[in-house]
A and B are shown apart, each in its own frame.
Chain A
Amino acid sequence: MVLQKQSDHGKNRALPRKSGLWWTFTRLLLDLRSLIAIFIFLFLLVMPIAMLILGRDVFTAMANWQDSPQYAEYGSAPTNIFGYSVHVNEAFLPFHLIMVALSSVAVITLGGSLFRPLYRRDTVDFEWSLPLTKNHWFLGRALALIAGLSIIYLVNIVATSGIIYAWKLQDLLPDYLFAYLKAYLSTIVFTGFSIAIFSLCGRLFDAIVINVALHHVMPFIQLISGSMPEKSLLREIMWFLAPAADSFRTIVADKSFLHYAVLIVFWFVLSWFCAMKRQAEWGGRKTGTMRWFVGIQPIFSLTGGMLGGEIFDMFDPSPMPWKLLSPMFFLGALLGAFLAQLVSSAVTGKTLHRVPSDSDEAGKAKLHPILREWLWSLLGIALLYALTLFNRIV
């Protein structure tokens, strides 16, 4: 085979290059197009199509101009993002709640698809060797995710508004639009939070499990910790750490535009920081256990402890005035915390047998992993008692 020398090097050259950020953004958004189309359909299904299936008469019957009873729980009428009082019609509530739940699924699904390349050896080699920066990749991914969600939300509200106008119920719409906008902003907050988790985790599986688990853990703690006041700093911190769960409150919660703006900036700056710190060698890890995970594990043992304690306390024949002093509660909390610790270790691939490392010095005593799991469970229990005590004092 004779190889002919290229004599026309100037011809058939590459297309003029776009900026790196534009390239990554458009490329990643195009990659998402099928998922975006699927979620547009699902959103349409749970809101405008569901409304059409119910029909105008049922929807009108659901419409109620009274303030929702939930508003009273929060002590004030909800306001729009500019601080004006609004009266969102209850007719939207079931559609809205399903839509918010679907938003969280959309964030995790679209985010998982976009961030999957971070966890594979071959894709990391490919992406990081291209003439692009880490900033390009981070911003491209974040913007593609936001753009995808924005398209989904936009198509949904346009279709919903069309139906409302066709039914000549347009008076219901303006106030709901503010709740819808809050749901959208809350979804963007959750997007920033999720990107931080995606950037920190060693495997996609762990990122999704931690994302989902944190969002189940936080409201759960709130539900079962009856001693916690309705409005407390601790409760707000818990909602803060579970933005997807918090987004369910958007239709009734009294949150200003500034609240969402601050959260969006905070989570995106944090996720940017995590993405910049992420190293290529994390791709292709066999286990998802990272150093930082040890820091959040007590949250899982705290929840497990709380659940175990509450269950055991139900069987206590002589309940104590303060259940934390009850031996039954303590026993349940101990078992629950240990189980939660083991489960959270297992899902992230942490082993329970000794793994010698190169840094181990000869003869250096090292805690057995099971003993270490017990100690971390006890830390969860200590956290549970400290938090409860703190709540009582405050």
Chain B
Amino acid sequence: MEKIQTVEKQNSEQLNPSVTMSDSSSLANEQDAVIVADDLSKHFGTTKALDKVNCKIGGASIFGLIGSNGAGKSTFLRLTAGVYRPTEGAMLYRGQVIFDNPNAKREIIFVADQPYFHFENLRKMSALYRSLYETWDQDLYQELIRIFPIREDQRLDLLSKGMHRQAALILAIAAKPRLLLMDEAFDGLDPVMRQNLKRVLARQVADDGMTTLIASQNLRELEDFCDHVGLLHEGGLLFVEELDKLRLGLVKAQVAFRENVTAEQLRAMGLEILRFSARGSLVEILTRNTEEELRTILNQVNPLLLDVLPLTLEEVFIYELSCKSYIVSELLA
């Protein structure tokens, strides 16, 4: 199920903050795209928060938007929520302009980094959401307040930051939006609540076809959860890719050889090595081969130990982007 694509630009091979990367193999139909950013720019005075961003996000997916502070993540979310008017270009939801358009916004809910509650407790807030969103599901709401333990009559202004976020998420999810936007969704949540949130969101995506767009600085938060990721840097979208595809392209293994084996020897055997680092008798190898190919080649040298290790999203990004001459530590917090 391909959900994301970037718009083909003139020189897609050369990454540039103002030019998106294209993957022709992952192009989806124009009609499938839920969100389309078309040459989207947002300037605050002379500061270019976003500059000519092009991307398409498809339905029923969880899209992780990552980047360092000031990369433009929150601005992108606010443009998608219809809070900001684009300076140039357009932000479309199912082909409709989002800004000042209630028809589009009726299907979108934005959970900001600092959630705001107009009323003092969840009961009144749920009534407010219920009066605004036709899709509000009271049963789901009741279920969510059991999962996230907040009493309906509890004073929201006296709650902790994490509880605030839970309350905002309860309201947002119970309204059953077609598109849920979350800025730093996991900020302040304890590990149990993070897992609960991930499960609830995954279910909503699977059952109701909800699209979720999450902005975060934390790659580790998103890696076991998102199916697509995009990297924003200095107002430009550097990278958009399907996570599984990214992971499938790289394999990491820990090997202990009986005899001294060099990287050149392994390369000669057909291994496409990206990194070869030896720590004592243990060697860590990162390759572009498949796991099967890796095992076949390494078994030829009869290793004492061969473990294929899981790759973190951070590692994937480091190797993908270092190929494009980007220093990842500068891009990510």
- A residues adjacent to B (C-beta < 8 A): 1, 3-6, 8-9, 11-15, 17-18, 20, 23, 27, 120-126, 128-134, 136, 279-281, 357-359
Contacts of A27 in B (CB 8 A): 128
Determine which of B45, B109, B133, B203 lies in contact with A357 in the assembled complex, contact meaning CB atoms within 8 Å: B45
Contact stretch, chosen from B61-69, B137-145, B239-247, B262-270: B137-145
Query: B206 — nearest CB in chain A belongs to which residue?
Result: A5
A279 touches B78 (CB 8 A): no
Residue of B whose beta carbon sits closest to that of A283? B83
Q: Nearest chain-A residue to B109 (Cβ)?
A: A129
Give A124 to B136 CA distance when docked, in angstroms: 22
Q: Which 4 interchain pairs have the tightest Cβ spacing?
A: A12-B138, A14-B136, A122-B116, A125-B112
B228 interface hit (Cβ, 8 Å): no
Stretch touching chain A among B98-106, B219-227, B286-294: B98-106
Are B114 and A121 touching (Cβ within 8 A)? yes
Contacting residue for A123 out of B46, B116, B128, CB 8 A: B116
CA distance A13 to B143 in the complex (A): 14
Given contacts A129-B108, A359-B46, contact A17 B147 (CB under 8 A): no
- 18 A-B residue pairs with Cβ-Cβ distance under 8 Å, sorted by A, are A6-B143, A12-B137, A14-B133, A14-B135, A17-B132, A23-B131, A123-B116, A124-B83, A129-B82, A129-B83, A132-B105, A133-B102, A280-B78, A280-B83, A280-B84, A357-B45, A358-B46, A359-B46
Is B200 interfacial (CB-CB < 8 Å)?
Answer: yes
Q: On chain B, which size bracket covers the interface?
A: 35 or more
B200→A3 contact, CB < 8 A: yes
B118 within 8 A of A: yes
Compute how far the CA of A5 lies from the CA of B133 in the bound complex, rounded to whole angstroms.
21
Known contacts A15-B131, A281-B84, then 15 further A-B pairs from the complex at CB < 8 Å, ordered by chain A residue: A6-B137, A6-B139, A6-B143, A8-B139, A9-B208, A13-B138, A14-B131, A14-B132, A126-B112, A128-B81, A128-B83, A131-B106, A132-B105, A136-B102, A280-B78
A9 touches B137 (CB 8 A): yes
Tell me which residues across on chain B come within 8 A of A4, comparing CB atoms: 143
A204 to chain B, nearest CB (A): 16
Interchain CB contact under 8 A, B147 and A357: no
Task: Using CB atoms, name the residue of chain A closest to B117.
Answer: A126
Q: Any chain A CB within 8 A of the CB of B17?
A: no
Contact of B147 among A3, A5, A12 (CB under 8 A): A3
Partner of B196, one of A1, A11, A132: A1
Name the residue on B nearest A27 (C-beta). Answer: B128
Establish whether residues B207 and A131, one from each chain, have CB atoms under 8 Å apart when the complex forms.
no
User: Residues of B with Cβ closer than 8 Å to A?
Assistant: 44-47, 78, 81-85, 100-103, 105-106, 108-110, 112, 114-116, 118, 128-140, 143, 147, 196, 199-200, 203, 207-208
Determine the distance from Cα of A17 to Cα of B81 in the docked complex, in whole angstroms.
20
User: In chain B, what residue has the closest Cβ to A284?
Assistant: B114
Residues of B within 8 A of A134 (CB): 100
Chain A residues lying within 8 Å of B109, measured Cβ to Cβ, are: 129
Contact B112 A122 (CB under 8 A): yes
Distance (whole angstroms) from the CB of A280 to the closest CB of chain B: 5
CB of B100 within 8 A of CB of A131, answer no
Task: Among B44, B102, B208, point to the contact of A132 (Cβ < 8 A).
Answer: B102
- Nearest opposing residue in chain B for A124, CB measure: B83
The reply to whether A11 and B106 contact each other, CB–CB distance below 8 Å, is no
- Given A17-B132, A358-B47, answer yes or no on A5-B203 (Cβ-Cβ < 8 Å): yes
CB distance from A293 to the nearest CB of B (A): 16
The answer on a CB contact under 8 Å between A126 and B116 is yes
- The contact of B130 among A15, A125, A128, A131, by CB within 8 Å, is A15
Return the chain A residue nearest B114 by Cβ.
A122
Give CA–CA (A134, B271) in the complex, Å.
60
CB of B165, distance to nearest CB on chain A (Å): 13
Across the interface, which residues of B come within 8 angstroms of A122, CB to CB?
112, 114-116
* Least CB separation from B136: chain A residue: A14
Residues of chain A contacted by B115 (CB below 8 angstroms): 122, 126
Contacts of B85 in A (CB 8 A): 279-280
User: How far, in whole Å, are A132 and B140 apart by their CA atoms in the complex?
Assistant: 24
State in angstroms the CA–CA spacing of A134 and B82 once bound together.
Answer: 11
**Contact yes or no, A5 B207, CB < 8 A:** yes
Chain B, Cβ-Cβ closest to A132: B102
Chain A residues near B136 (CB-CB < 8 A): 13-14
Residues of A contacting B103 in the complex (Cβ-Cβ under 8 angstroms): 131
Q: How far is the CB of B18 from chain A (nearest CB, A)?
A: 17
Q: Give min CB distance, A379 to chain B, whole Å.
A: 25
Asked if A125 and B46 make an inter-chain contact with CB atoms under 8 angstroms apart, the answer reads no
CB distance from A132 to the nearest CB of B (A): 6
B313 to A: closest C-beta gap in Å? 25
- Tell which of B100, B134, B207 touches A14, judged by Cβ atoms closer than 8 Å: B134
How far apart are the CA atoms of A129 and B203 in the complex, in Å?
24
B245 → chain A, closest Cβ, in Å?
A: 28
Given contacts A125-B110, A131-B105, contact A3 B203 (CB under 8 A): yes
Chain B residue nearest to A12 (CB atoms) is B138
**Interface contact B105-A130, CB-CB below 8 Å:** yes
For the complex formed, measure the closest distance between the CB of A350 and the CB atoms of chain B, giving whole angstroms.
Answer: 16
When chains A and B are docked, how far (Å) is the Cα of A357 from the Cα of B46?
A: 8
Q: Is the CB of A128 within 8 A of B82?
A: yes
Q: For B128, list chain A residues within 8 Å (CB).
A: 27
Given the complex, which residues of B lie within 8 Å of A8, measured CB to CB? 139
Given A5-B207, A126-B116, A128-B83, is A20 in contact with B102 using a C-beta cutoff of 8 Å?
Answer: yes
Residue on A nearest B196 in the bound complex, by CB: A1
> Residue on A with the closest CB to B129?
A14
Chain A residues with CB under 8 Å of B137's CB are 6, 9, 12-13
Q: How far is B129's CA from A12's CA once the two chains are assembled, in angstroms?
A: 13
Question: Which A residues are CB-close (under 8 A) to B110?
Answer: 125, 129
